[in-house]
Chains A and B, each alone.
Chain A
Amino acid sequence: MRHIMFTKTRRDLRRRLSQFTAVAITVMLGVTLFIASYDAYLNLSASYERTYSRLHFADLTATAPDARPLAARAEDLSGVAAVTTRTQADVPLDITGQKLQGRVVGLPDDAEAPAVNQVEITAGRTPAAGDSNGAVLEQHAARTFGLRPGDTVRAYDGSGWRTLTVRGIAVSPEYLWPARDRQEVLADPHSFAVLYVPETTARALAGTSAPNQALVRFTPDTGDKDGTRATSALRAAGAVHVQPRADQPSNSALGEDLKGFSELAVAFPLLFLSAAGVAAYILITRLVLAERRIIGTLLAAGAHRGAVVRHYLAHAVIATTAGAVAGVVLGAVATSAVTRAYTSALDIPDTVVGRHVPTSLLGLLFGLVVGLVAGGAPALAAARTAPAEAMRGDGSRTPRPGPIARLLARARRLPVGWRMALRDLGRSRRRTVATMSGAVLALVLVLTSVGMLTSMRAMISRQFDQVQRQDATVTAAAGTEDLAARLRAAQGVTSVEPSVTLPVTVSSAHGSYSTSLTGYRPDTQMHRFLRADGVAQQLPAHGVLAGAALADRLDVSTGDRITLTGPDGRARQVTLAGFVHEPMGTVLYGSVDTVRTVTGAQPDTYLLRFADGADRAHLRTQITGLDGVVAYTDAQALRDQVDRYLNLFWIFIGAMLVLGGALAFTVIYVTMTVNVAERTGELATLRAAGVPLRRVAGVLATENLTATLLAVPAGLAAGAATAWAFLQSFNSDLFTMQLSLGWPALLLAAVSVVAAAAVSQLPALRAVGRLDIARVVRERAQ
């Protein structure tokens, strides 16, 4: 019985096909983005989890000089599925002539797979039992250095280089993202490599007689309480540090990445859906306005108000739901592509591509809600139409002139075209607000994307230009003499400072945190210790400085006494002298003397500064050739590596810029065409009076571009605020990003959106050009 109104809806949609299609496409983009990113987030989580499950990734990693008592204790705990011990040590490696700080990890001597933290061999095999010089190279290093089974590498055992033969290449759940530790999540692949060797070989290289790690894996049904209980038990058994899976560097880095995905999955679609909502609202409002007399007639005939509401609501809901359905389909396709591209780029061995019905339903719900919200207000307004009033005028009562209109009336020197355009801004405030909303939303999208890039660049600049000022780090073999002098003598080296870095566990009454402690000369030129206000502070004579994130992690403040436990397992108390605000990592700093006093460690590394324009490749070759140099890290290489990551990010930014422009175009296009449609009679009258098309176009363009320009300040502010909030969600102990946009980014964003607004005038102006003046004027006369 209700099909005639539906027929009308169908025909209305067809009559305004391009505008409703624009709304549907915007919803489609929003829902596609939502499903592609949210399902990809779920798929990636599932992919990582499958790899973790298959390779028995550890739930807890406990460290102690001798981990065997820890393992024995863990085996008695409830919920523990498997326990194993192994040796892990950071040792210098020489791979294809490049000396770097590597890591050796023990595998069972009997060549059996370990019960926890297995590796998956992708080429070759594991060393056979008794093959003490065989090794398995982690896949990232194998690819970076182009190594295959049969090639050799050298590992430094503290007294000399030992040659190992690569038997196989492997994927490890611990190094899906090749992070040395939580403080170096982004690393130059040429400065870090992981080598799996038989346990006996690992101990020999580390110079220890006992395994230093106990790995614990829980049964699937183990709860948080059991995990907490196990952690306490391991600490009580002598663990220096117990690292839960969530804090494991690779998993943590991937987790941050996933978190970003889930943020994107909500934030960007929200912008598109908001834009679609604005466009749909304008469209339905326009439709209601155009049909005001018809609505009045229907209501005068006794039509039920509910039927009128449902009718106009249906227009918006059909358009947005159609967009949502298309978005669900496209999203399903994109999800698969995004997931596969991601797991392929990261070399994740397992790829789980699932279609998640709740995500699709949520996408459809988004479309429905946008339609209901956007169509709701004009539909209710339609139902509240007073029939008598609707019959009285031409559908839009002449509003009283506002203050702007009155002011413009006095501005007689201003051309009439300008005055008309500017008055129109106030005449249809809803349309003006909608145009401005479109511009604001587009700016938010663009600035959020650009803000991520510029802030990351600023973060890198702050880290490498202001904080970390050495050009290279050289690790010396124990007992090496005169290395500092020989380094200074190298052509291109301008300064050399001794330093020492060692892994420590810092603990307070509220928990522990695994990080590193680095000692510098008190008057070091290699590192600046920045406070929150950006001012550098001196390295304290006593006590240590800590990364600001530690304050929250351990609930500590300046002046507190904290406990440091070094690799030897001895705990020492030290004063927390202050905090540093650095973009990357959360580490401890002290003077070389303080580090020596607290841990007994002697400087074993040298920090180097190069002359401007120095040949870095030549210096690397020259310095790594010096006797006693066992590892070399080029700071610029890390910076270059980060830049490479950011270059990939440009693709994302480019896509967001295009989408932001499209978003601005959609909203502004709809408001422009509605603007023209609402004023058909007025524009036709102008044309009939002989006003040239370009003048009419000029008035319209002036009006719309003025509205867009008026929105720019609000859009820039909203965009900056959104970008800031977005960056905050990424901040952790791994990264601390501050919003850094800079005027070029703001200018570029503003110009992009105004350009999109200018381009979106064209279809509306074509419509003006096609006006059948006689017909329009005749219709108005009726």
Chain B
Amino acid sequence: METTPEDRGGVRLRGVSKTYGTAEAPVHALRGVDLDIEPGELVVVLGPSGSGKTTLLNLIGGIESADAGRLTVAGEELTERQPARLADFRRQHIGFVFQFFNLVPTLTARENVEVIVELTGRGDRRRAAELLTAVGLSDRMDHFPAQLSGGQQQRVAIARALVTDPDLLLADEPTGALDTATGRAILELVQRSNREGRTVLMVTHNAGIAAMAHRVVHMRDGRVESVERQSVPADAAAVTW
């Protein structure tokens, strides 16, 4: 896949490897992964624990660096980038949603979203309220995380990830800490974001969720085992697991 400035949400990995641990006991998280993600795609990465899916997400999101291979995301070459420039890259292109919501307990829902604008210098604080309304929290904006349910907290986390208007939304087990109904509501938000034109890469070990993806990447032992294209992705509301 040739990337152009217009292909801002696209991802291309060539021979990407990542190893953790010590020389005596290495853990090969990724072993020469090749993968392309088209701009505007919703891709789900499936695999058991230890298959390397979270590492793949972290490398694409620029919060870790690959040991080998070439990595281009949103038109930017990430291979051998310095940490400071990776931070620039994330600021401009990436929104993260994690399994654990990681909200600041001493800030309200609105402040948790606004603080990203404050700390990155990107986006508009007024958009925080819009996003919280969009995720169904218009009446919970001034509540602290401890006053919100798990699903509500994850919605805040999604609003936080979107407030800088990223090209690529990366979600790591976003429903992992939620019950089915709440998880489904979260997936609807993720899908809505994708339908608005944003590229989404979601990591999960839950096969049912894969139904909503344009493509499903199966991983095992640090390698891409297979890539499955779905011509008609299911609505998130219809996903079951």
Max chain A Cβ within 10 angstroms of own Cβ: one of B94, B102, B122: B102
Asked if B90 and A2 make an inter-chain contact with CB atoms under 8 angstroms apart, the answer reads no
The answer for the CA separation of A12 and B104 in the assembled complex, in Å, is 10
B109-135 vs A, Cβ < 8 Å mask (1 yes, 0 no): 001001110111110000000000000
| Set of chain A residues within 8 Å of B91, measured between Cβ atoms | 301-302
Asked if A294 and B118 make an inter-chain contact with CB atoms under 8 angstroms apart, the answer reads no
**Residue among B94, B95, B102, B111 making CB contact with A7, cutoff 8 Å:** B111
Interface status of B160 (Cβ within 8 A of chain A): yes
Interface status of B150 (Cβ within 8 A of chain A): yes
Interface residues on B, range: 35 or more
Asked if B111 and A4 make an inter-chain contact with CB atoms under 8 angstroms apart, the answer reads yes
The answer for the CA separation of A514 and B62 in the assembled complex, in Å, is 80
A555 CB, min distance to chain B CBs, angstroms: 62
B88 CB, min distance to chain A CBs, angstroms: 7
The answer for the CA separation of A391 and B97 in the assembled complex, in Å, is 11
| Set of chain A residues within 8 Å of B88, measured between Cβ atoms | 302
| Set of chain B residues within 8 Å of A8, measured between Cβ atoms | 104, 106-107, 111, 115
| Set of chain B residues within 8 Å of A299, measured between Cβ atoms | 63, 87
Asked if B107 and A302 make an inter-chain contact with CB atoms under 8 angstroms apart, the answer reads no
Asked if B63 and A388 make an inter-chain contact with CB atoms under 8 angstroms apart, the answer reads yes
Asked if B120 and A293 make an inter-chain contact with CB atoms under 8 angstroms apart, the answer reads no
Interface status of B158 (Cβ within 8 A of chain A): no
**Residue among A5, A7, A291, A386 making CB contact with B119, cutoff 8 Å:** A5
| Set of chain A residues within 8 Å of B116, measured between Cβ atoms | 298, 301, 303
Asked if A301 and B120 make an inter-chain contact with CB atoms under 8 angstroms apart, the answer reads yes
**Residue among A297, A305, A782 making CB contact with B87, cutoff 8 Å:** A305
The answer for the CA separation of A302 and B63 in the assembled complex, in Å, is 9
Interface status of A510 (Cβ within 8 A of chain B): no
**Residue among B90, B102, B114 making CB contact with A302, cutoff 8 Å:** B90
| Set of chain B residues within 8 Å of A725, measured between Cβ atoms | none
Interface residue SS majority, chain A:
helix
In chain B, what residue has the closest Cβ to A10?
Answer: B106
The answer for the CA separation of A386 and B88 in the assembled complex, in Å, is 15
Asked if A387 and B63 make an inter-chain contact with CB atoms under 8 angstroms apart, the answer reads yes
14 A-B contacts, Cβ less than 8 Å apart?
A2-B118, A4-B114, A8-B111, A11-B107, A293-B98, A298-B119, A300-B90, A300-B94, A301-B95, A302-B92, A302-B94, A303-B120, A304-B120, A782-B177
A282-307 vs B, Cβ < 8 Å mask (1 yes, 0 no): 00000000010110111111111101
**Residue among A293, A298, A388 making CB contact with B64, cutoff 8 Å:** A388
Interface status of B164 (Cβ within 8 A of chain A): yes
B interface residues, Cβ below 8 angstroms from A: 54-55, 58, 61, 63-64, 84, 87-92, 94-96, 98, 100, 102-104, 106-107, 111, 114-116, 118-122, 150, 160-161, 164, 172, 177
The answer for the CA separation of A391 and B54 in the assembled complex, in Å, is 10
Asked if B98 and A303 make an inter-chain contact with CB atoms under 8 angstroms apart, the answer reads no
Which positions 293-329 of chain A face chain B at CB distance < 8 Å? 293-294, 296-305, 307-308
The answer for the CA separation of A300 and B90 in the assembled complex, in Å, is 7
- Total inter-chain residue pairs, C-beta < 8 Å: 97
| Set of chain A residues within 8 Å of B94, measured between Cβ atoms | 300-302
**Residue among A3, A12, A301, A391 making CB contact with B172, cutoff 8 Å:** A391
| Set of chain B residues within 8 Å of A7, measured between Cβ atoms | 106-107, 111
The answer for the CA separation of A100 and B140 in the assembled complex, in Å, is 90
| Set of chain B residues within 8 Å of A12, measured between Cβ atoms | 106
| Set of chain A residues within 8 Å of B150, measured between Cβ atoms | 782
A435 CB, min distance to chain B CBs, angstroms: 27
| Set of chain A residues within 8 Å of B55, measured between Cβ atoms | 388
Which positions 371-396 of chain A face chain B at CB distance < 8 Å? 386-388, 391-392
A interface residues, Cβ below 8 angstroms from B: 1-5, 7-8, 11-12, 15, 291, 293-294, 296-305, 307-308, 386-388, 391-392, 782
The answer for the CA separation of A231 and B72 in the assembled complex, in Å, is 86
In chain B, what residue has the closest Cβ to A6?
Answer: B118
The answer for the CA separation of A392 and B18 in the assembled complex, in Å, is 15
Asked if B100 and A300 make an inter-chain contact with CB atoms under 8 angstroms apart, the answer reads no
Q: 16 new A-B pairs (CB below 8 Å) besides A5-B119, A11-B107, A298-B116?
A: A4-B107, A4-B111, A7-B107, A7-B111, A11-B106, A12-B106, A291-B104, A296-B63, A301-B116, A302-B94, A303-B116, A303-B119, A304-B121, A305-B84, A307-B119, A391-B54
Asked if A297 and B118 make an inter-chain contact with CB atoms under 8 angstroms apart, the answer reads no
Asked if B118 and A302 make an inter-chain contact with CB atoms under 8 angstroms apart, the answer reads no
Max chain B Cβ within 10 angstroms of own Cβ: one of A3, A293, A294, A296: A294
In chain B, what residue has the closest Cβ to A9?
Answer: B106
Asked if A304 and B87 make an inter-chain contact with CB atoms under 8 angstroms apart, the answer reads yes
The answer for the CA separation of A11 and B87 in the assembled complex, in Å, is 27
| Set of chain A residues within 8 Å of B61, measured between Cβ atoms | 300
Max chain A Cβ within 10 angstroms of own Cβ: one of B55, B89, B115: B115
In chain B, what residue has the closest Cβ to A12?
Answer: B106
| Set of chain A residues within 8 Å of B95, measured between Cβ atoms | 301
Asked if B98 and A297 make an inter-chain contact with CB atoms under 8 angstroms apart, the answer reads yes
The answer for the CA separation of A76 and B74 in the assembled complex, in Å, is 92
In chain A, what residue has the closest Cβ to B57?
Answer: A388
Check A302/B115 contact, CB under 8 A, given A293-B100, A294-B103: no
The answer for the CA separation of A298 and B164 in the assembled complex, in Å, is 12
| Set of chain A residues within 8 Å of B96, measured between Cβ atoms | 297, 300-301
B210 CB, min distance to chain A CBs, angstroms: 22
Asked if B102 and A294 make an inter-chain contact with CB atoms under 8 angstroms apart, the answer reads yes
| Set of chain B residues within 8 Å of A1, measured between Cβ atoms | 118
Asked if B106 and A302 make an inter-chain contact with CB atoms under 8 angstroms apart, the answer reads no
The answer for the CA separation of A5 and B118 in the assembled complex, in Å, is 8
A153 CB, min distance to chain B CBs, angstroms: 77
Check A297/B120 contact, CB under 8 A, given A8-B107, A387-B63: no
Asked if B106 and A15 make an inter-chain contact with CB atoms under 8 angstroms apart, the answer reads yes
| Set of chain B residues within 8 Å of A3, measured between Cβ atoms | 118
The answer for the CA separation of A296 and B54 in the assembled complex, in Å, is 15
The answer for the CA separation of A388 and B63 in the assembled complex, in Å, is 6
In chain B, what residue has the closest Cβ to A387?
Answer: B63
Asked if A5 and B115 make an inter-chain contact with CB atoms under 8 angstroms apart, the answer reads yes
Asked if B115 and A296 make an inter-chain contact with CB atoms under 8 angstroms apart, the answer reads no
| Set of chain A residues within 8 Å of B64, measured between Cβ atoms | 386, 388
